[in-house]
Structures are given as structure tokens and as C-alpha cells.
């Protein structure tokens, strides 16, 4: 499992590296003003709907059902099932796209009520361009699910790299468009076609290409739809909280939407590299073990996944809490992205950091239910966490502004993760073993070492000269992160050797 997770995580890391290049150029060109906020909303809307109808919800229902058909009925039946779902997905997305294009002004007014005048019209125009990405990426998600079920993860994991490359190219072509925001919007749409071609090519190369099948409601399709419904509700719940962020942020001072976006980009790095990678690999792994009645093996896989999440996320939490401002300044602090933008984004990142481990843990806890065909329980738990999340957003935004939105997200994530863990334990689907407990304590010890190094080195590192004039924080940030990383790895490596000998 970890070998596949490392492959997915490595490709995701490459994608994020391209993403940081994209965001650095975008921040320098757009800054954090009205133009940037308009594009952020136009970029977020199709991605919100993608998260509801594709990716998490779709994979939660499709991968276990496809794996079951493959195991019980063979490859031909699995391809027929995949082709039927391909037809259904395509038809639904055509209808959704048509309705969205026609009703875009109302949709933008609903989700960005703080925009008016030219900013509102610009947002409508940009979102009409980007929304086609939803239909394309939904088909990509289906094809990626088939590949993942067969143990092929590289093409799907590398597809987001193409999105970043397309957007970077679009930024360099910005002089040929009305604004840089228009160029980025067209870059997003172009990326959908490129990603689809990339994943489809790998699917056909694997010999498991899909063809459109008549949309018949077979027994397996009905089982998929029964699982998909609750999964969509769960994903919709998550996106409802994110919609609330967007809606409230558009009512705050200009730049608030962008502050949340840039903080989220850094916060998403460990979430993507660790959480998404583990989640993508864990779901088919658990599905196969559950289908084979190997519950002990499923519990073992979940322990190892959660153990890895804790070990890999805790040092990131420490860095984001104590070094948010210098890291954001190093990555984005140039051009139109001024010190005010850096500080606003840093406050959001600090608040997001509080819930990082919980958000990533949910990526492992939820598949433990989905692998058993239970998509309803995570939805119910999510509903509770969302109510708490939204209530806190309303309570905190008055005193903490956009940072209050991020902190509410973190608290909601902890409620979600803890409730899921308790329910899994009650159902005998999760029991922390000795190695999990000891590795958690070891990760905590390593994180305290990281905190001590950051606090101890910051005053001295601030006096170091910069070798690159355009990157004044490069040496101080680099020295601190290197020292903290070496210390953490040393603690974990030494402690792991002791733990392994004792088991």
C-alpha cells in the first residue's frame, strides 16, 4: 500500500510544485484585489461542483462496486459496468453544463453576493468559461477510478500537473487576452481537454478502455446509485461549508477571498501529498480485503494509514503555526502581492493548520466505511460537523474576519475525524494497535523538537543575508526548515528502530 501511496504522493508533490510556480506568477500578476477575487470565485465554482459530483463522492461509490464486479463477474462485466456509468455521467454533465451556462448570473449572485458592478459581470464571464472543466474532469475521474481499481495510479495522479502547466502557459499568453483573469479561465478549460486525453490514453494502453453502453439500470448500477446518493450528500455537505466561506468572504474587505485561496494552497500541500495519496490507495486496498472477508487485514491497513498521516502531518502543523508569514512571503510576496496580502494569508494559514491532521485523517477514516458499502454513516457524521463549522463561521467572522472562517473549518474537521474514529472502533473496524500508539507518541516528541528549533533559530536566522535579492527570505526560511526537518527525521528514525525491536 505504501509503495503505491508513495507513487501517488510523489506525483502529487510534483503537481504541487508546478502549482506553486503557477500561484507565484498569478500572485505577482493579479495580487489580492478585485480582479484576483473574481477569478478565484470563477475557479472555485466548478471545483466545488466537481467535489460534489465527481472525485470523492464518485470514487466512494464507483471503486468498491467496480472492484466487486471485477472480482465476482470478471473483466468483461466490469468493462460493461464502467461503460454504462460513463454514459450516465456524460448525460448528467451535459445537462448540468447547459443549466449552469444559462443560469450563471443567478449562480454567481447566490455564491458571491458581495460582488457588484463590473466585478460581478467579470465573474459571470469567467465562470462561464471555466465551468466546462467540470464535465471533462468528471469523465477523467471515472477513468481514473477504473485505473486505480486495477492498481494503476500514475496517470491519474499526474493529471493535475497538466492543469498547472496549462494555467502557467495561459499566464504567459495573458497579453493576448482582455485580462490575465480571462487567460487563466481559458487555461483551466484547456486543461480539462488535456487531462482527459492523458488519462484516456493510459486507460486504452492498459487494455481496459471504456465505450459508451446503453444506460440500463442493472443490479450493479442500482447498487452504485444507492451508494452514490449518500456520498453526494456527504460531498455536498463539505462543499456547503466551503460555499459559506466563499459567500461570507465576498462580504468582507477586498482581498479576503484571495487570502483564503493562497493560505489554502499551502495548506493543501500536505493534504494532497499525504491525505489524497493515502485515500486513493487505501480505498481499493480496503475494498479488496473486505470483499475477501479479511477484516484483520483491513484494520491493519487502516492503522498503518493513520499512523503515517500523524507522523507526516504533525511537523507541517508546527511549521504553519510558527512560520506562516515568512513562508508565504517567500512563495508569493512580490509584485502585486504586497505585505498586507502576506499577513492576511498568514492569519488564514495559521487557523487552517489547527485542523490539518484531522482533515487528512478523514481521508483514511471515510474509506473504511465506503469499502464496506456504507456511505450513509460518514454523511451523518459530516452533517454534525458542518453544522458546528457553519455556526462557528458566523460566530467568529466578526472578530477574526477571514481567519475565523478558516478556524471554524479546522474545528469542524476535528469533530468529523473523532466521530468517525469512535464509530469505527465501536463497529470493530478500527482498533489502535501498539505500534500506532507508540508511533503517535514518537511523532509528538519529534514535533516538539521541531517547535523548539523554529523558536530558537528564528531570531538568528532573521539576520542572515539573502543570496538572491528577489527572494530575501530564502536563506532564513531554508536554514530553519532544513534544521527542523533533519531533527524530526532523526527523532522518527531512531524511535522507529526502537519501536520495531520492541514489537
Q: Roughly what angle, to the nearest 10 degrees, separates helices 376-400 and 402-426?
A: 150
Contact 352, 409 (CB under 8 A): yes
Task: Please give the chain's pLDDT, 503 residues, in tens.
Answer: 555 555 555 666 777 778 778 888 888 887 777 888 889 889 888 877 776 665 666 777 787 888 888 888 888 888 899 899 899 989 988 998 999 899 999 988 887 888 878 889 999 999 999 999 988 988 998 898 888 788 777 787 788 889 989 999 999 899 999 999 999 999 999 999 999 999 999 998 888 888 888 888 888 888 888 877 776 666 666 667 777 887 888 888 888 888 998 898 888 888 777 776 676 677 778 887 887 888 888 898 899 999 999 999 999 999 999 999 999 998 888 777 888 989 999 999 999 999 999 999 998 898 888 888 887 888 889 889 989 999 999 999 999 999 999 999 999 999 999 999 999 999 888 989 999 999 999 999 999 999 999 999 999 988 888 777 667 788 899 999 999 999 999 999 999 999 888 87
Cα separation values, 48 from 51, 239, 443, Å: 5, 6, 33
Give backbone dihedrals phi and psi of 4, rounded to 5 degrees, phi first: -65, -40
H/E segment holding residue 58 = helix 56-73
* Burial letters 207-224, b for 16+ CB under 10 A, else e: ebbbeebeeeeeebbebb
Distance of CA 497 to the CA centre of its chain: 32
Angstrom distance (rounded) from CA 48 to CA 446: 36
pLDDT at 417: 95
User: What's 252's DSSP letter?
Assistant: S
Q: Roughly what angle, to the nearest 10 degrees, separates helices 180-205 and 154-172?
A: 150
Q: What share of the chain is helix, strand, coil (3-state, %, to 5)?
A: 85, 0, 15
pLDDT at 273: 73
Contact 412, 358 (CB under 8 A): no
pLDDT at 266: 87
Contact 69, 146 (CB under 8 A): no
Give backbone dihedrals phi and psi of 346, rounded to 5 degrees, phi first: -65, -40
pLDDT at 191: 94
pLDDT at 239: 67
pLDDT at 231: 67
pLDDT at 95: 93
pLDDT at 53: 62
Judge if pTM exceeds 0.75: no
Contact 326, 473 (CB under 8 A): yes
Angstrom distance (rounded) from CA 320 to CA 327: 8
**Ordered alpha helix ranges (H), 173-276:** 180-205, 219-251, 256-270
Contact 267, 353 (CB under 8 A): yes
Among residues 470, 28, 15, 51, the alpha carbon closest in space to that of 258 is found at: 28
Contact 361, 380 (CB under 8 A): no
Amino acid at each position: 500500500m505504501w509503495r503505491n501511496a508513495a507513487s501517488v504522493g510523489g506525483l502529487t508533490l510534483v503537481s504541487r510544485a508546478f502549482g506553486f510556480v503557477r500561484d507565484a506568477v498569478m500572485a505577482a500578476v493579479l495580487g489580492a484585489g478585485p480582479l484576483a477575487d473574481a477569478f478565484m470565485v470563477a475557479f472555485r465554482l466548478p471545483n466545488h461542483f466537481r467535489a460534489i459530483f465527481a472525485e470523492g463522492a464518485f470514487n466512494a461509490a464507483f471503486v468498491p462496486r467496480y472492484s466487486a464486479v471485477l472480482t465476482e463477474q470478471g473483466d468483461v462485466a466490469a468493462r460493461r459496468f464502467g461503460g454504462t456509468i460513463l454514459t450516465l455521467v456524460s448525460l448528467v454533465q451535459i445537462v448540468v453544463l447547459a443549466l449552469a451556462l444559462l443560469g450563471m448570473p443567478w449562480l454567481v449572485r447566490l455564491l458571491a453576493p458581495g460582488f457588484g458592478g463590473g466585478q460581478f459581470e467579470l465573474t459571470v464571464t469567467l465562470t462561464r468559461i471555466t465551468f466546462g472543466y467540470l464535465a471533462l474532469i468528471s469523465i477523467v475521474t471515472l477513468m481514473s477510478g477504473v485505473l486505480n481499481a486495477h492498481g494503476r495510479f500514475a496517470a491519474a495522479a499526474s493529471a493535475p500537473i497538466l492543469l498547472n502547466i496549462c494555467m502557467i502557459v495561459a499566464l504567459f499568453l495573458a497579453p493576448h487576452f482582455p485580462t490575465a483573469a480571462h487567460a487563466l479561465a481559458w487555461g483551466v478549460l484547456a486543461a480539462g481537454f488535456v487531462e482527459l486525453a492523458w488519462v484516456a490514453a493510459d486507460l486504452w494502453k492498459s487494455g481496459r478502455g471504456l465505450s459508451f453502453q446503453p444506460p440500463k439500470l442493472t443490479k450493479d448500477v442500482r447498487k452504485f446509485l444507492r451508494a452514490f446518493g449518500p456520498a453526494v450528500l456527504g460531498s455536498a455537505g463539505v462543499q456547503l461549508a466551503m460555499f459559506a466561506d466563499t459567500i461570507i468572504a465576498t462580504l468582507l474587505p477586498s482581498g479576503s477571498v484571495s487570502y483564503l485561496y493562497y493560505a489554502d494552497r499551502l495548506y493543501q500541500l500536505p493534504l494532497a501529498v499525504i491525505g489524497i495519496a493515502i485515500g486513493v490507495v487505501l480505498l481499493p486496498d480496503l475494498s479488496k480485503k473486505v470483499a475477501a472477508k479479511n477484516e484483520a487485514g483491513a484494520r491493519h491497513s487502516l492503522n498503518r494509514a493513520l499512523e503515517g498521516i500523524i507522523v507526516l502531518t504533525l511537523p507541517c502543523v508546527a511549521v504553519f503555526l510558527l512560520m506562516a508569514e515568512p513562508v508565504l512571503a517567500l512563495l508569493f510576496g512580490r509584485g502585486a502581492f504586497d505585505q498586507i496580502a502576506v499577513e492576511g494569508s498568514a492569519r488564514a494559514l495559521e487557523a487552517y493548520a489547527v485542523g490539518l491532521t484531522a482533515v487528512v485523517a478523514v481521508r483514511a477514516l471515510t474509506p473504511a466505511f465506503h469499502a464496506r458499502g456504507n456511505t450513509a454513516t460518514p454523511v451523518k457524521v459530516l452533517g454534525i460537523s458542518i453544522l458546528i463549522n457553519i455556526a462557528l463561521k458566523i460566530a467568529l467572522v466578526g472578530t477574526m474576519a477571514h481567519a475565523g472562517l478558516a478556524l471554524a473549518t479546522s474545528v469542524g474537521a476535528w469533530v468529523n475525524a473523532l466521530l468517525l474514529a469512535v464509530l469505527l472502533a465501536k463497529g470493530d473496524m478500527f482498533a489502535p494497535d501498539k505500534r500506532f500508539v507508540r508511533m503517535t507518541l514518537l511523532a509528538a516528541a519529534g514535533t516538539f523538537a521541531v517547535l523548539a528549533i523554529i523558536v530558537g533559530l528564528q531570531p538568528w536566522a532573521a539576520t542572515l543575508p539573502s543570496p538572491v535579492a528577489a527572494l530575501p527570505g530564502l536563506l532564513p526560511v531554508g536554514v530553519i526548515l532544513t534544521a527542523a526537518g533533519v531533527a524530526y527525521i532523526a527523532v522518527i528514525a531512531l524511535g522507529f528502530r526502537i519501536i520495531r525491536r520492541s514489537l
